[in-house]
């Protein structure tokens, strides 16, 4: 994957800048935000230029061509690259030379390069680079190559700003390094002005990269494939050449009747027969050019610009999803870069498009870069990297680049520029407001985070309810207020379907009497509340909080299937037992026949076997809560497995309450284990 990139003399970058693009190889989704003119698109365009798919866009203030370069930093898993090299017809004879050179360069960058930049040579961009490397070194230095591979303004190979890397390469050259990188990755760049009709043609090179199919090679293979024709085992191209030779001989025999000197013959030193490449262009023109993408019987160019943009992302998503999560060792690893996916889009489609792009990365393993002015993406994305570009006059780009983890999005909000904090919620609210007024097939649940969504999706039918995590209880509440606010002006702008804004009941619950209200009741703000007396989960309105009333702290993890939750907790404990010797895991018992799965408060789920275990219960609970995300993924796997095999032991009461709220059959079909049916 691309970890970052050094740029000098390209578009917005008059001086050398290091741009940190990604934090880890698990979540390779990067969103780049900032005002116009700060250099967002220049990053993607520069990478496109490095991969020799675009021309150099020179910065007007750059005077010295010798200083201009684009050098991406690559983090590549060693075993995957080595396996790919051994299977490559182009590189398999040089595997040892290449890997030895890569190992030396990688060792230099991981271990030695930092000490070689002293005094005036230790510029801001060098410090920024080594700050990033220092944070990931322990995790990746043994298993991954760290490589620098660049090109200058004349497209010649360079290793700037690490010029001494050349000495570490041994018998291979920088050109060979770039050649390996070019072959190992497929960089697909969709600029904001790119036309959908040209991109979405089967014969288009970008389209072939997306499909992972080289149409030209496919045609040539078909022409060379040996078939039984006229009782001969020959290829189609050989058969065509044979038949044409017979045809020419017949013509020559006819004209020789007039004069034996006449003859059709190929020129000397010119090829005599057709080759597959002679035919390919005609097939592309005569066959594929007549088959264009249509939507609802309309040609793509007949759609609105927004519909075209949406179609382009839909098709890219469909093909890359169809390819699935491929092994890196297969090569041609996709790096997808899209400028402003939201351009000309109907606001109701924005979050759906960005959610798909995140899935291409985090679910299917592709690296994805997007630039955007639609900040509604921020609360929606669960994992990845957020890069903010500020306006600055500083020639060293000090404070220009700010990087955040989407996973820690809420913890970092205090450091966000105001434009991000304010605009993200307003953009999402406007998009959602448009969506709920138009969407007639699905209800909507706004929940706090990705773990909530995963648990809810185990039994809620996604074809009937859209579940959207929005980044915390405050965002749920703020979005609710923004959604009901227009109803005070015009009741006709109400939702077509019902909207449930759902939060946990936190220990610090406060007065919410200031929240708005939808008179129709279609949009409601509710909190989860365990009701021990009736063994059910209540959905309580946040605007009726009474400080003197009893309430139970309730999180989504407290109201899921106890038996399945017990099993996944046990598996995580077994994996971590040796690393947490201070926790007496064997002194705790999880009761799978409990109604609820809460570890805190009044519970029949967690049983402490000894007095010492009871005294240290908080350590046990803290350990479980530290594995919150992992547990949610394991739970979903276990739950889905149970659904398709023996059935589940019981339906968690929270789903019954949500079904009653919507007054609709919104649950998936399910079966209960024999003789254990208590709720159906």
Give the model's pLDDT for residue 418.
65
Say how far apart CA 620 and CA 613 lie, in whole Å: 9
Confidence at 354, pLDDT banded by 50, 70, 90: confident
Is the pLDDT reported for residue 571 higher than 70? Answer: yes
655 closest CA partner among 671, 642, 644, 666: 666
Residues 549 and 483 grouped into a single domain: yes
For the record, the structure tokens of 11 come out as 């578009």
Percentage of residues in the chain with pLDDT exceeding 70?
Answer: 85
17 closest CA partner among 29, 30, 4, 28: 4
Residues 58 and 107 grouped into a single domain: yes
Give the model's pLDDT for residue 678.
41
In a domain, 473, yes or no: yes
Residue-range definition of the domain harbouring residue 272: 218-286
Kindly report the CATH number assigned to the domain that includes residue 63: 3.40.50
Kind and range of the H or E run holding 502: strand 499-503
Query: Counting Cβ atoms within 10 Å, is residue 96 exposed (0-12), middle (13-18) or buried (19+)?
Result: exposed
Contact 4, 71 (CB under 8 A): no
Is the pLDDT reported for residue 174 higher than 80? Answer: yes
232-235 and 226-229 beta bridge pairing: antiparallel
Say which range, 133-147, 421-435, 486-500, has the weakest mean pLDDT.
486-500
Residues 331 and 396 grouped into a single domain: yes
In a domain, 668, yes or no: no
Contact 496, 473 (CB under 8 A): no
Give the model's pLDDT for residue 164.
85
Please compute the mean of the pLDDT values over residues 546-561 and round it to a whole number.
82
Please compute the mean of the pLDDT values over residues 523-531 and round it to a whole number.
92
In a domain, 266, yes or no: yes
Q: Where are the alpha helices (DSSP H) in 406-472?
A: 409-412, 418-438, 450-456
Other beta carbons less than 10 A from residue 526's beta carbon: 20
Give the model's pLDDT for residue 601.
80
Is the pLDDT reported for residue 623 higher than 70? Answer: yes
Give the model's pLDDT for residue 679.
38
| Mean pLDDT rounded to a whole number for the chain | 84
Residues 317 and 366 grouped into a single domain: yes
Kind and range of the H or E run holding 4: strand 2-8
For the record, the structure tokens of 16 come out as 């050398």
User: How many Cα neighbours within 13 Å face the side chain of 298?
Assistant: 10
Identify which has the larger pLDDT, 551 or 131. 131
Query: What is the DSSP track for 378-412?
Result: HHH--SSEEEEE-----TT-TTTEEEEESTTHHHH
In a domain, 293, yes or no: no
User: How many Cα neighbours within 13 Å face the side chain of 52?
Assistant: 14
22 closest CA partner among 176, 144, 124: 144
Confidence at 203, pLDDT banded by 50, 70, 90: low
Give the model's pLDDT for residue 547.
61
Give the model's pLDDT for residue 300.
65
Among residues 380, 411, 442, the one where a domain terminates is 411
Please compute the mean of the pLDDT values over residues 99-117 and round it to a whole number.
92
Residues 379 and 427 grouped into a single domain: no
For the record, the structure tokens of 414 come out as 């205090």
Say which range, 162-176, 368-382, 533-547, 601-615, has the weakest mean pLDDT.
533-547
Give the model's pLDDT for residue 323.
73
pTM for the whole structure: 0.75
Give the model's pLDDT for residue 389.
92
Q: Which of 251-255, 324-328, 537-541 has the largest mean confidence?
A: 537-541
Question: What pLDDT, in 10s, does the model give residues 422-451?
Answer: 778 888 888 888 878 877 778 999 999 889
Residue with tokens 């509604």: 376
Give the model's pLDDT for residue 181.
94
Residues 553 and 571 grouped into a single domain: no
Say which range, 13-27, 222-236, 336-350, 632-646, has the weakest mean pLDDT.
222-236
Residue with tokens 């078939």: 227
Give the model's pLDDT for residue 579.
80
Give the model's pLDDT for residue 402.
86
Is the pLDDT reported for residue 195 higher than 80? Answer: no
For the record, the structure tokens of 610 come out as 């000894």
Give the model's pLDDT for residue 680.
38
Helix (H, G, I), strand (E, B) or coil at 592: coil
Angle of the 215-224 helix axis to the 276-286 helix axis, nearest 10:
120
Say how far apart CA 201 and CA 662 lie, in whole Å: 44
Query: What is the DSSP track for 78-118?
Result: HHHHHHHHHH-TTTGGGHHHHHHHHHHHHHIIIIIHHHH--
In a domain, 662, yes or no: no
Residues 14 and 135 grouped into a single domain: yes
Say how far apart CA 609 and CA 586 lie, in whole Å: 9
Is the pLDDT reported for residue 466 higher than 60? Answer: yes
For the record, the structure tokens of 602 come out as 């009044």
499-503 and 523-531 beta bridge pairing: parallel
Say how far apart CA 535 and CA 529 lie, in whole Å: 11
Residues 313 and 382 grouped into a single domain: yes
Residues 390 and 532 grouped into a single domain: no
Residues 442 and 359 grouped into a single domain: no
For the record, the structure tokens of 215 come out as 């149409």
In a domain, 332, yes or no: yes
In a domain, 206, yes or no: no
Say how far apart CA 112 and CA 371 lie, in whole Å: 34
Is the pLDDT reported for residue 410 higher than 70? Answer: no
Is the pLDDT reported for residue 236 higher than 90? Answer: no
In a domain, 661, yes or no: no
Among residues 266, 286, 306, the one where a domain terminates is 286
- 468 φ/ψ angles, rounded to the nearest 5 degrees: -125, 115
User: Terminal CA-to-CA distance of the chain, rounded, Å?
Assistant: 48
- Split into its structural domains, the chain has a count of 4
Is the pLDDT reported for residue 98 higher than 90? Answer: yes
Residues 336 and 189 grouped into a single domain: yes
Contact 591, 561 (CB under 8 A): no
- 634 φ/ψ angles, rounded to the nearest 5 degrees: -65, -40
> Quick one: how far is CA 137 from the chain centroid?
23
For the record, the structure tokens of 640 come out as 């889905």
Residue with tokens 């410090």: 127
Helix (H, G, I), strand (E, B) or coil at 430: helix
Residues 551 and 578 grouped into a single domain: no
Residue with tokens 């955040």: 404
Give the model's pLDDT for residue 1.
94
Give the model's pLDDT for residue 70.
97
């Amino acid at each position: 994957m691309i970890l970052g990139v050094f740029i000098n003399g390209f578009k917005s970058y008059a001086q050398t800048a290091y741009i940190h693009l990604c934090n880890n190889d698990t979540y390779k989704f990067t969103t780049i935000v900032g005002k116009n003119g700060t250099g967002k698109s220049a990053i993607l365009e520069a990478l496109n230029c490095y991969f020799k798919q675009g021309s150099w866009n020179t910065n007007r203030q750059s005077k010295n061509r010798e200083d201009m370069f684009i050098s991406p930093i690559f983090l590549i898993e060693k075993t995957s690259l080595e396996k790919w090299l051994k299977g490559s017809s182009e590189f398999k004879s040089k595997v040892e030379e290449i890997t030895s050179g890569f190992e030396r360069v990688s060792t230099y960058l991981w271990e030695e390069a930092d000490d070689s930049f002293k005094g005036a040579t230790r510029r801001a961009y060098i410090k920024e680079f080594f700050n990033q490397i220092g944070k990931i070194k322990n995790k990746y230095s043994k298993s991954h190559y760290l490589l620098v591979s660049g090109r200058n303004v004349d497209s010649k190979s360079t290793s700037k700003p690490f010029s001494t890397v050349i000495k570490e390469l041994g018998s291979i050259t920088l050109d060979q390094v770039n050649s390996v990188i070019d072959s190992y990755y497929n960089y697909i760049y969709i600029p904001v002005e790119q036309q959908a009709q040209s991109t979405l043609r089967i014969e288009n090179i970008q389209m072939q990269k997306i499909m992972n199919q080289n149409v030209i090679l496919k045609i040539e293979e078909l022409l060379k494939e040996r078939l039984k024709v006229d009782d001969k085992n020959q290829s189609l191209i050989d058969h065509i050449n044979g038949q044409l030779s017979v045809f020419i001989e017949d013509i020559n025999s006819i004209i020789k009747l007039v004069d034996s000197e006449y003859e059709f013959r190929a020129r000397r030193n010119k090829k005599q027969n057709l080759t597959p490449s002679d035919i390919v262009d005609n097939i592309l023109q005569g066959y594929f050019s007549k088959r264009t993408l249509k939507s609802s019987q309309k040609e793509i160019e007949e759609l609105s610009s927004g519909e075209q943009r949406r179609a382009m992302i839909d098709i890219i998503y469909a093909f890359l999803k169809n390819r699935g999560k491929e092994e890196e060792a297969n090569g041609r690893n996709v790096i997808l870069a899209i400028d402003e996916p939201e351009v000309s889009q109907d606001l109701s489609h924005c979050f759906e498009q960005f959610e798909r792009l995140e899935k291409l990365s985090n679910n299917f393993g592709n690296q994805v870069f997007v630039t955007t002015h639609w900040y509604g993406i921020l609360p929606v994305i669960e994992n990845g990297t957020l890069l903010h570009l500020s306006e600055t006059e500083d020639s060293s780009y000090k404070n220009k680049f700010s990087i955040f983890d989407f996973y820690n999005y809420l913890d970092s909000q205090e450091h966000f520029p105001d434009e991000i904090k304010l605009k993200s919620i307003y953009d999402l609210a406007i998009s959602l407001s448009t969506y709920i007024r138009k969407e007639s097939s699905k209800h909507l649940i706004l929940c706090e985070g990705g773990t909530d969504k995963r648990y809810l999706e185990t039994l809620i039918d996604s074809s009937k309810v859209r579940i959207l995590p929005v980044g915390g209880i405050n965002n749920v509440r703020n979005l609710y207020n923004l959604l009901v606010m227009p109803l005070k002006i015009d009741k006709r702008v109400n939702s077509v379907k019902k909207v449930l804004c759902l939060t946990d009941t936190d220990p610090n619950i406060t007065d919410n009497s200031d929240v708005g209200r939808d008179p129709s009741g279609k949009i409601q703000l509710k909190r989860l509340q365990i009701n021990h007396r009736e063994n059910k989960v209540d959905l309580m309105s946040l605007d009726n909080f009474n400080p003197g009333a009893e309430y139970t702290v309730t999180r989504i993890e407290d109201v899921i299937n106890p038996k399945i939750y017990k099993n996944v907790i046990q598996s995580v404990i077994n994996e971590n037992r040796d690393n947490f010797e201070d926790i007496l895991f064997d002194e705790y018992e999880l009761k799978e026949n409990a109604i609820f799965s809460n570890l805190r408060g009044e519970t029949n789920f967690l049983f402490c076997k000894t007095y010492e275990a009871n005294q240290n219960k908080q350590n046990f609970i803290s350990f479980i809560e530290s594995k919150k995300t992992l547990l949610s993924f394991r739970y979903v796997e276990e739950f889905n497995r149970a659904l398709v095999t023996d059935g589940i032991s019981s339906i968690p009461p929270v789903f019954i309450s949500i079904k009653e709220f919507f007054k609709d059959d919104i649950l998936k079909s399910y079966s209960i284990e024999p003789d254990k049916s208590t709720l159906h």
